[in-house]
């Protein structure tokens, strides 16, 4: 059975387990996850025993050529056809996922009598398995390797944007299809902005360099951040860097199946707070990574999720001194029963 057909089976098992009759899905991310067919405007109905896809006419032939394990049609009214099928099969408890729906579409489902139900596909997506893990590893390996290639080329006078372009090319040359988000290249004080928009600023002598980047490889995202000092580091930079590095190490060491994600956050945060920089760590510690650059689980002070073997998360503490510099160190890691595997090895 191919990986997508197996995912549909897994979803059907979840339906049974949760006493649901069917679920409707309409976002490319979910329908692509279940079919391997990555196009917008494909609607799916998955019951405990069947799976149907409804789409615009212009996609039908292509879909049929590529997906032989889902019943496909291109009705004039897609929403009407979904409803009809639900009635025909007497699927009483049909649900939609509030977290994947737009306001308009979600309310359309509600009008049709479908109920909200959270976490079906996101829990399937959070735990990676089989060939998916290999693909994610490759995505992270490309990103990790790129750092060693780009670093020696970042010289005084180069702009952030020129580094952005070259880094992108380096990853594509290794097989990446694109960037997993808008890469953040921050020189000097720009490194202190966690979501800095890469600019035409040139690198001066003796400045911090922060690179937060990742690629997409066969639809899977990688995420990594490295910070270093270009030139002779100041005492303050050395001190802050050492704190963030130790914090990140503590976070990675805390990762293990069965651990709450907020305990991974604490491991990072406590270290930074104890060192007196708590107020400068102004974001959560991490997030799941996979088909989306940000997906389940969340890793912050409030998150209640428990790590499972096969989840992939980032661990990325940082300290940001506005107007001066920032340091963030981030790896993507794969949760295992005994700890974790660092995927973004440099």
Interacting residues toward a second copy by CB under 8 A: 38-39, 56-59, 61-62, 98-99, 101-107, 165, 172, 192-197, 282-283, 320, 322
Q: What is the DSSP string of 196-259?
A: ----SPBPPSSEEEEEEE-EEETTEE--EEEEEEESS--HHHHHHHHHHHHHHHHHHHH--TT-
User: And the tokens for 122?
Assistant: 């996101």
The smaller minimum CB distance to a second copy, of residues 83 and 108, is found at: 108
The smaller minimum CB distance to a second copy, of residues 322 and 345, is found at: 322
**Residue from 342, 191, 320, 187 nearest 252 by CA:** 342
The smaller minimum CB distance to a second copy, of residues 101 and 295, is found at: 101
User: Taking the complex as a whole, how short is the minimal distance between the CB of residue 256 and a second copy, in angstroms?
Assistant: 28
The smaller minimum CB distance to a second copy, of residues 241 and 281, is found at: 281
Cα–Cα distances in angstroms (integers) from residue 167 to residues 114, 145, 219, 262, 303, in the given order: 46, 11, 19, 33, 33
User: Taking the complex as a whole, how short is the minimal distance between the CB of residue 277 and a second copy, in angstroms?
Assistant: 14
| Cβ neighbourhood burial of 184 (10 Å; 0-12, 13-18, 19+) | buried
Cα–Cα distances in angstroms (integers) from residue 272 to residues 46, 157, 194, 325, in the given order: 46, 33, 16, 16
The smaller minimum CB distance to a second copy, of residues 108 and 139, is found at: 108
User: Taking the complex as a whole, how short is the minimal distance between the CB of residue 316 and a second copy, in angstroms?
Assistant: 12
């Amino acid at each position: 059975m191919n990986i997508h057909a197996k995912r549909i089976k897994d979803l059907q098992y979840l339906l049974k387990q949760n006493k649901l009759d069917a679920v409707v899905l309409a976002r490319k991310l979910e329908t692509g996850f279940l079919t391997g067919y990555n196009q917008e405007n494909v609607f799916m109905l998955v019951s405990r025993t069947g799976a149907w896809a409804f789409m615009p006419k212009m996609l039908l032939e292509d879909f049929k050529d590529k997906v032989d394990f889902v019943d496909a049609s291109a009705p004039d009214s897609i929403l009407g056809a979904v409803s009809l099928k639900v009635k025909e099969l007497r699927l009483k408890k049909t649900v939609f996922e509030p977290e994947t729906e737009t306001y308009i579409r979600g309310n359309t489902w509600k009008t049709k009598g479908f109920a909200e139900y959270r976490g079906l596909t996101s829990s399937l997506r959070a735990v990676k398995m089989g060939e998916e893990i290999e693909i994610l590893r490759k995505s992270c390996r490309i990103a990790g390797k790129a750092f060693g290639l780009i670093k020696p080329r970042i010289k005084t006078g180069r702009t952030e944007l020129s580094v952005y372009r070259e880094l992108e090319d380096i990853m594509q040359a290794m097989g990446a299809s694109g960037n997993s988000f808008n890469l953040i290249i921050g020189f000097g004080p720009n490194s202190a902005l966690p979501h800095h928009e890469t600019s035409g600023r040139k690198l001066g002598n003796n400045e911090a360099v922060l690179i937060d980047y990742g690629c997409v490889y066969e639809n899977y995202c990688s995420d990594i951040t490295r910070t270093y000092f270009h030139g002779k580091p100041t005492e303050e930079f050395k001190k802050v860097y050492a704190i963030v590095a130790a914090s990140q190490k503590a976070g990675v060491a805390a990762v293990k199946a069965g651990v709450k994600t907020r305990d991974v956050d604490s491991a990072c945060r406590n270290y930074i707070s104890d060192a007196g920089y708590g107020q400068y760590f102004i974001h959560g510690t991490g997030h799941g990574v996979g088909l989306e650059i940000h997906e389940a689980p969340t890793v912050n002070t409030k998150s209640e999720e428990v790590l499972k073997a096969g989840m992939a998360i980032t661990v990325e503490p940082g300290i940001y001194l506005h107007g001066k510099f920032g340091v963030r160190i981030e790896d993507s890691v794969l949760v295992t029963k005994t700890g974790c595997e660092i995927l973004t090895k440099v």
